[in-house]
Amino acid sequence: MILADLFNELVLRRPSQRAIPNLDGPWLPNDRLETCARLAPDIAGPDGLAAGDDMLYVASGPRILGLSGPGFDQVREVAGFDAPVACLAWDRRIGLVAGVSGTGLVVLAPEGGTKILRETAGRPLHHPSGVAVDEAGGLLVTEGSARRAYEDWVWDLMEKGTSGRLLRFPPDGAPAAVLAEGLAFPIGVAQRPDDGMVLVAEAWRHRILGIPPSSPSRPQVVLDGLPGYPARIAAGADGGFALSFFALRTQLVEFVLREEAFRRRMMETIDPECWIAPSLSAVEHHLQPVQFGALRSQNIKKPWAPPRSYGLVVQLDAGLAPIASFHSRANGFNHGTSGLAWQGERLFVAARGADRILLPLEEQEGAA
Amino acid sequence: MSDASPLSLSRLQRYWPSHLVGEVLAKPWIDSVVPMTVMVIVLLIAQMLIPGYLGLGNLVSVSREFAEFGMVSLGMAIVVFCGGIDLSVGGVYALANLAALYLINVLGVPVVLAVPIVIVLGGLLGAINGFLIGILKIRAFLVTLATLVIFRAAVNLLLLNFASQITAAYTENATWDFLGIGKIAGVPTNVVVLAILAVVLHLLHTRSRLGWHIQAVGGARRAAHHAGIHVRWSIFSAYVACSALSALGGLFYGARQGSIGFDTGVGLEIAVLAAIVLGGVALGGGRGSVARAMAGAVITLVLTNVLVRLGVQGGATSTVLGIVLLIAIGFDVKWQKNRHKILQKAYVSPAFLKLHTPPDIKPGSGSPYELNDRLRGAEVLALGLVDGPEDVILDRQGRLYTGMRQGWIYRFSGENFATRELFANIGGRPLGLAFDRDDNLIVCVSGMGLYGVKPEGEVFKLTDQTNRSWFSIRDDSIIRLADDLDIAPDGKIYFSDASVRYDLHSWIFDGLEGRRNGRILCYDPATATTRTFVSGLIFPNGICMEADGRSFLFAESYGCMVSRCWIEGPKRGRVERVIKDLPGIPDNINRASDGNYWLAMVGMRSPVWDLALTMPGFRVRMVKRVPRDEWLAPNLNLGCVIKFAADGRILDCLWDGARINNPAITSMREHQGWLYLGGLTSNRITRIKLDRADPAFVGPVAYWGAPRIAGSQAGQPA
């Protein structure tokens, strides 16, 4: 592996597989996540989003909030649990589906009544991280890690976890089938409408896997070498997708991931908030590590500083080629972009680190 | 690779002098190491292949041949230093040989006269080259190729006419033989001449105006022109010198051989070029030395000589020479390109550093350093008018002075300090400021040393070097990063030289290194000398004289400590810790009106930073594999000002919680009830009203009392 890398780099002058790609072309940085419209209410740590008929469901800690009204400014609690809600999905046939840490999938049927899904062919589902409803009415659900709960993602990153799974609960209520195993913290899951391929975003491998419906045992890499840690992927009405990243990869974090002794001692002795690791929020902790490029000069933090936290949403076309990107850069605030929901032409993005719901496709004046 | 036993291996690493690798690589003579090593290896191999090769008898005979070759190499080296090339050396060599023999054998000119004639003749031939290349600016390669053909043709024509005469008229001539086969103290005459020439040329090259000019022209012709160097004249003289030296070589060849053939000097230019390139004289010009040219000549000659002695065919010898030339050029190109990269990667050399456990600073922790946002209400001055006010100081009249990144010192005065004047332009990077007894502003200038500015704005130098220590590879007599100063009652100036290895633009790398690279120097105005007072400090920064004048306090930034150093009494020169566990990185220290001290904290330690300091291997690899902008750094985005007592108690702490006005707070001065703050990378100066401060406190008055000089204004009462 190392020899092949060296050969590639020194002889063929190809960038190494480890290299973080530049933000260029459709990825070119901008401030569109800073200047775009957002919903009026501030919601603490919003993550999973799901758009119902006339309501936007938001997972906020252990609660599910329903936002309704013309400006989505009426907030009411739809459900509450004793553990954080990681992800949401809504389907007219099924109702609202919530992935609750430690519990499994909780289905809130439209006619009322609650059902908990956790049985699988093997180990029960413990730490759901992403959920989507497929064409047949089955539930596609990802489990980020077998050992770590969804909210402990930073541990799984530093442990280089590869214990994630993709499961499918069939509509008839039978135990779930395991579609893929050994995934590196899958969070986002979606189904491509034209060929039924299931797309899974593997955060720690910075790629999107495609699992063809005909041969689920042979997943393909459909999008590779992403510049950040992909979070959710959501299919839009036009056949394209939105893909969110909760943080960008940085050289320093990639380096620390190769430094076994340092990482072990860091994890043993230091509070995770202060690790060399990506963060969701732009709010600076007084003991957090800082990189040279992020030191303020002329009292300003430069937008191109190596980002500890970042906001990025990318639009993909039906062939999964990136066509546009929306950034909140190092000097911005709307960081930790995760949950996505389409409502027709409208795209909602949950900025987890900013306690905000953003509308990246709309200008500031148009909304609220 | 493993840091599994941090308590033993990593700790030991602090004694491992890995920083010396970078320092050696940074030396200018490092370029000579490779050719010199190759020369020694080639000589040893020769000795192995041909027993007795390094014996006295063989050396004498080989060195006779070498001397003539060496003279031509010296000439070629001069031209190449100048960025040119001279292919006609072989032609000049042969012509001079012919001329010398003709003059002495046929015309009977005395040797004493013939030698200068031949040298002048060579010079004239060189003048043709020089005129065409230097004055008419024709390409050196083409010109000398043409002159080579012409000179050679001339030799052939002349030989047809004079060869028989020269051979026939051979006579015994003691002086001539002395030049050819004589010895001085057992050393062949021509070798002695070559040695003298080499020494003289080395001196000219490294120490004379013309030598520097030639080097400059070779390095960057246009820049040399802009610098006012007479480029044409420099080039012209280089070619003249080259041909004169070649002619001298030809003359000695004639004296030694006493005969002449059509093949004299054929292919000499290639061999000589190979020699100097092998020695590491850059073909592009501007880089190389006489010693290296000589080393290259030795390598080439020994190689050829050994091959001939081993019975290798003539053609094969040339092939080997060609291959060696190719390798040398390839190596030269790669070395040029990569040397600074190697240096950059090898220079930063992290060491083990275990800091004391920092106190908790969380709000509600009850620690004296508790986080707050008391600097939020600070009044902003000079917004956008300053660039990096590292230190601020106020004079007796309440005017504010600060140093800029551009090497300026600004003075602000008037209502709300609205009037900005350029007080002085020193250059460098002005850092610490202090007023002396005569109201001169004494300034630490990074990259320059210790300077002063008179009240009327005239700049004068105090010192820019200290004593060189015995065992340092890097020249530590230079004051690289003068950071802060204070003045003792007797007028001696104590100032910190924060690092002997880094300048201000890379001061953060010194922190990454965590070595004891800094020192405190003392300038004595009575003798105008500077001596190192304390060394082995971890980035000493702020200095503040204590009220009794018997000791000063100083901060070690990357050591996160404040210490006291005595300058008088039995403990003179001794250092004792005052605060050993600061939560951040201390910068300047100044006096408070209540007899305590202010300390600026430029940035924060973080747990990860502390951990990395104990794992040098981690930092070494980070420096090598991660780009600079992405390196782990101390958090200079959050800082504070603390007040501490002489015994180290923390009395007060003002944080910049909002992180807008005062990132990287480096200095603070109390003046008439206000505290003025400056920051290393800031674009503003701020001030905050102090609650319990003496409203009449003025720094220079506290230090030096009311002004002694008649006519100057007294400090204004509040």
CATH superfamily of B379-704: TolB, C-terminal domain (2.120.10.30)
For B590, the 3-state DSSP assignment is: strand
For chain B, say whether A274 makes contact (Cβ under 8 Å): yes
Q: What is the mean pLDDT of residues A79-90?
A: 93
Is it the case that residue B447 has pLDDT exceeding 70? yes
pLDDT at B367 over 80: yes
Interchain CB contacts (distance < 8 Å): A and B: 116
B160: contact with A, CB 8 A cutoff = no
- Split at pLDDT 50, 70, 90, the class of B2 is very low
- Closest residue on chain B to A289 (Cα): B606
Contact A290 B635 (CB under 8 A): yes
Candidates B630, B660, B684, B685: best to mutate against A (most CBs of A within 10 A) is: B630
- pLDDT score at A2: 63
Q: How confident is the model at residue B6 (pLDDT cuts 50, 70, 90)?
A: very low
Q: Is the distance from CB of A266 to CB of A59 less than 8 angstroms?
A: no
B481 touches chain A (CB under 8 A): no
Which residues in chain B have their CB less than 8 angstroms from residue A293's CB?
A: 628-630
How many CB atoms lie under 10 A from the CB of residue A214?
Answer: 9
What is the per-residue pLDDT for A311? Answer: 95
Range from A20-24, A26-30, B18-22 that averages highest in pLDDT: A26-30
Judged by average pLDDT, the poorest of A359-368, B159-168, B398-407, B638-647 is: A359-368
Q: How confident is the model at residue A367 (pLDDT cuts 50, 70, 90)?
A: very low
For residue B198, the model assigns a pLDDT of 95
Element at B323 (helix H, strand E): helix B314-347
Q: Picking from B168-172, B423-427, B580-584, which range would have the lowest pLDDT averaged per residue?
A: B168-172
Testing the interface with A: which of B383, B386, B606, B622 to mutate, by most A Cβ within 10 A?
B606
pLDDT of B645 above 50 = yes
pLDDT at B167: 79
Q: What is the model's pLDDT at position B116?
A: 95
ipTM of the complex: 0.91
Cβ A261–B2 below 8 Å, yes or no? yes
B-facing residues of A in 69-128 (CB < 8 A) are none
- What are the chain B neighbours of A267 within 8 Å (beta carbons)? none
Q: What is the pTM of this model?
A: 0.80
pLDDT band at A1 (very low <50, low <70, confident <90, very high): low
pLDDT at A110 over 60: yes
**pLDDT tier for residue B211 given thresholds of 50, 70 and 90:** very high
| Spatial distance between the Cα atoms of B250 and B247, rounded to a whole number of angstroms | 5
3-state secondary structure of B243: helix
Test the B interface: residue of A250, A276, A287, A302 with most B CBs within 10 Å = A287
The CA distance from A296 to the nearest CA of chain B, in Å, is: 6
Dist. CA B449–CA B481, nearest whole Å: 7
Least confident of A66-75, A352-361, B5-14, B344-353: B5-14
Rounded distance between C-alpha atoms, residue B175 and residue B403, angstroms: 70
User: Using CA atoms, how far apart are residues B299 and B283, in angstroms rounded to an integer?
Assistant: 18
Question: Binning pLDDT at 50, 70 and 90, where does residue B18 land?
Answer: confident
DSSP SS3 for B302: helix
The whole-angstrom separation of Cα A275 and Cα A277 is 5
A297 chain-B contacts, CB cut-off 8 A: 681
pLDDT higher than 60, residue A266:
yes
Helix (H, G, I), strand (E, B) or coil at B20: helix
Residue A365 structure tokens: 């004046």
- Beta-bridge partners for A176: A120
> Average of pLDDT values for B603-617?
93
Q: Which two tokens stand for residue B595?
A: 């007899």
pLDDT-based confidence at residue B713 (cuts at 50, 70, 90): very low
Task: Tokens for B145, please give them.
Answer: 């190729």
- The answer to whether A184 faces chain B, any CB pair under 8 Å, is no
Q: Which two tokens stand for residue B658?
A: 């909002």
Tokens matching residue B305: 């000589």
Q: Could you tell me the domains of chain A?
A: 43-283+302-363 (2.120.10.30)
Q: For residue A175, what are the contacts with CB-CB under 8 A and spacing of at least 6? A: A119, A120, A121, A169
pLDDT attached to residue B24: 81
What does the domain layout of chain B look like in residue ranges?
Answer: 62-268, 379-704
Q: Beta-carbon neighbour count of residue A76 at 10 Å?
A: 9
Mean pLDDT, residues B528-533 taken together:
92
Q: Is the pLDDT of residue B196 over 90?
A: yes
Whether the Cβ atoms of residue A334 and residue A21 lie closer than 8 Å to each other? no
Mark which residues 655-714 of B lie under 8 Å from A by CB: 659-661, 663-664, 679, 681-684
Contacts of A305 in chain B (CB under 8 A): 629
Q: Are A291 and B631 inside 8 Å of each other by CB?
A: yes
Q: How far apart are CA B244 and CA B201, in angstroms?
A: 13
Name chain B contacts of A6, Cβ cutoff 8 Å: none
Rounded to the nearest 5 degrees, what angle is found at the Cα of B489, between the Cα atoms of B487 and B493?
25
Among residues B370, B361, B481, the alpha carbon closest in space to that of B432 is found at B481
For residue B424, pLDDT beyond 90: yes
Q: Which residues contact residue B687 at a Cβ distance below 8 angstroms, ignoring those fewer than 6 apart?
A: B378, B379, B381, B674, B675, B676, B677
Maximal C-alpha separation, chain A:
64
| pLDDT at residue B325 in the model | 80
Mean pLDDT (whole number) for B449-474: 90
B506 close contact with A: CB closer than 8 A:
no
Best mutation target among A299, A331, A333 (most B Cβ atoms within 10 Å) is A299
**What is the pLDDT at residue B11?**
58
How far apart are the C-alpha atoms of A101 and A104, rounded to whole Å? 7
Shortest CA distance to B689 belongs to which of B368, B370, B369, B374?
B374
Position B51 scores a pLDDT of: 86
Q: Is pLDDT of B708 > 80?
A: no
* Token digits of residue B681: 């990378």
- B334 φ/ψ angles, rounded to the nearest 5 degrees: -65, -40
Is the Cβ pair A270, B607 closer than 8 Å?
yes
pLDDT above 50 (res A366): no
Encode B463-472: b = buried (16+ Cβ within 10 Å), e = exposed: bbebeeeeee
Chain B residues 405-424 with a CB less than 8 Å from chain A: none
Q: Residue B717's pLDDT is what?
A: 40
A283 touches chain B (CB under 8 A): no
Residue B371 at interface with chain A, using a CB cutoff of 8 Å? yes
d(Cα B191, Cα B197) in Å, to the nearest integer?
A: 10
The fraction of chain B above a pLDDT of 90, given in percent, is: 55
Work out the average pLDDT over B287-301.
Answer: 90
Tokens of B356: 């004391």
Is B163 or B87 the better-scoring residue by pLDDT? B87
Provide CB contacts within 8 A for B465, sequence distance 6+: B449, B477, B478, B479, B530
- B 579-618 → A contacts, CB under 8 A: 604, 606-609, 611-612, 615, 618
E strands present in B218-334: none
**How many CB atoms within 10 Å of residue A51?**
21
Q: Is the pLDDT of residue A368 over 80?
A: no
**Which of 301-360 (A) contact B at CB < 8 A?**
301, 305-306
Q: Please judge whether A299 and B611 are an interchain contact, meaning their C-beta atoms are less than 8 angstroms apart.
A: no
Question: How far are the Cα atoms of A333, B99, B660 from residue B419, in angstroms, in the given order?
Answer: 37, 79, 24
Q: 3-class SS at A271? A: coil
Give A28-57 pLDDT, tens digit per residue.
Answer: 999 999 999 999 888 999 999 999 888 999
**Rounded mean pLDDT, B540-548:** 93
Q: Which residues of A fall within a CB distance of 8 Å from B633? A: 289-292, 294-295
Contact (CB<8Å) A296/B681: yes
Lowest pLDDT segment from A57-71, B31-45, B636-650: B31-45
